[in-house]
Structure 1
Amino acid sequence: MKKQILSFTLVLFSLLSFAQTTYEKVMKEKIAKIEKVQTAEEYQTLANDFQRIADKEKGKWQPNYYVAFSYIQKGRVMMRENKVQGLDEIADQAQKYVDEAQNVEKNAEIMLLQKMIYSLKMMVNPMERYMTFGTKATEQLAMAEKTDPNNPRILLIKAEDIYFTPEQYGGSKEKGMELFKKALEKFNSYQTKTDLDPNWGKSEAEYFVNQAQK
């Protein structure tokens, strides 16, 4: 009887280990695509892929994080293309998965996504929404920075905000560029807790720093 119990336990452990290995392999494959895709359609496909993983892997924050991040990136592409009328819907989609991720864990990476969601909503109508969503975005960024002050993605998003904000509203390309440089320094030393944790943003910081050197 003891041998049967031991055998069953070993088989169960092997199955669980295999499932975990498969999960990590699939996640790494999808994560590797994050900084390679460029169009709104490609980000939607990536969101769908991560959503299928999230539906199966309850109790893990990373799959839901990446669904939300893919939607946010889709929204940022739309924003650059001046398709701002669809941003509310995209932000609402991202919000569902940020909420799911926060139900599992609360960390600076998720707080940063919440900031980015508020920023998308603000960009639908900046003049009317700055005092609401703009203020919320600033508060979330401050919370994320307080939680993980060495996180380079927080500094990257702060650099973006300052760089692209007109000077009459407090922006500065010079100050933004300095923050991009500091973000890149942090990217070169920052270590994620696991291979599945967010690791995006370094290429963007490198792009802006290289632009300054030309």
Structure 2
Amino acid sequence: MKKYLLSFALAFMSLTAFAQTDYEKIMTDKIAKIETCKTPEDFQTLANDFQRIGSKESSQWLPQYYAAFASIQKGRVMMRTGNMMELDAIASQAEKYLGMAQNLAGADNAEIHLLRKMTFSLRMMVNPQQRYMTDGARASEELTVAEKLEPGNPRIALIKAEDTYFTPEQYGGSKTKGIEQFKAALAKFNAYKPKTALDPNWGKSEAEYFISLPEEKAK
């Protein structure tokens, strides 16, 4: 009987290890695709993929986090092309994923608060003048929370640099100051080590891109 129980336990441990390895492989493959997505459709497909992974791996917060991130990136691509009509719906979908991620990861997760900041920024861009005091204020609150939780996080520095770079000078923005902040963000990226191979590690290439812009384009 003892031998049978031991065999069962070993078999169960082997199956668990295999399932974990399979999960990590799938997640690694999907995370790598973030860098290659270009269109809203690409990011939507990726968000759907992460959501399906999350439905199977219901104890893991990262699939829902990445589903939210892919949704946000979809919105940001649309925003850059002037398509603001769907940003509210995209932000709502991202917030749904973030709610699930936070239920699993806890409230003190800087990465989740940073994505919440980005969803509120998407909402604000639908009508900046009307929404600055509501969605804009909530975006700032989430960024402050994220920075208090993890001041050395390079993605927080990156998003702050973006805000400075793209905000018009009459509202306190500055492309020159933004570039300096991108440089500071890059220094943080170079010193940063994610907790695991699957944890968030995006953003370095964006900082490098802005730093590499010719001076006349950066102004």
Normalised-by-shorter TM-score class: over 0.9
Aligned-residue CA RMSD (Å): 0.9
Unaligned runs of 5+ in 1: none
TM-score (structure 1 length as normaliser): 0.98
The 1:212/1:183 distance shift into structure 2, 3 A limit, reads farther
**Cα drift, residue 36 of structure 1:** 1.4
Report the counterpart of residue 33 of structure 1 in structure 2: 33
- Aligned-residue sequence identity (percent) comes to 64
Counterparts of 1:208 and 1:85, CA distance in 2: 27
Aligned residues: 214
**8 Å Cα contact 1:47-1:66 kept in structure 2:** yes
Distance 1:69 1:146 in 2: 21
Following superposition, which runs of at least 4 residues in structure 1 exceed 4 angstroms of deviation? none
Match of 2:57 in 1: 57
2:209 to 204, 207, 210: 207
Q: Return the alpha-carbon distance in structure 2 between the equivalents of residues 53 and 60 of structure 1.
A: 9
Residue 213 of structure 1 and its aligned partner are, at CA, apart by: 6.4
- 1:124 corresponds in structure 2 to 126
Do structure 1's residue 104 and structure 2's residue 104 form an aligned pair?
yes
Aligned partners of 1:97, 1:122: CA distance in 2, in Å? 19
Q: Does residue 1:156 correspond to 2:158, yes or no?
A: yes
1:16 aligns with 2:32: no
TM-score, normalising length: structure 2 = 0.96
Cα deviation, residue 211, structure 1: 1.1
How big is each residue's C-alpha offset from its partner over 1:96-146, in whole Å with a ceiling of 9 and x where there is no partner? 000000001131000000000000000010000000000000011011011
> What corresponds to 1:46 in structure 2?
46
2:179 and 2:140 map into 1 onto residues whose CA distance is 19
Partners of 1:177 and 1:212 within 8 A in 2 = no
Offset at residue 212 of structure 1 (A): 4.8
Q: CA deviation at 1:35?
A: 1.4
Secondary structure of residue in 2 paired with 1:199 = coil
- SS of residue paired to 1:104: helix
Aligned equivalents of 2:2, 2:97: Cα separation in 1 = 44
Structure 1 counterpart of 2:159, which letter? I
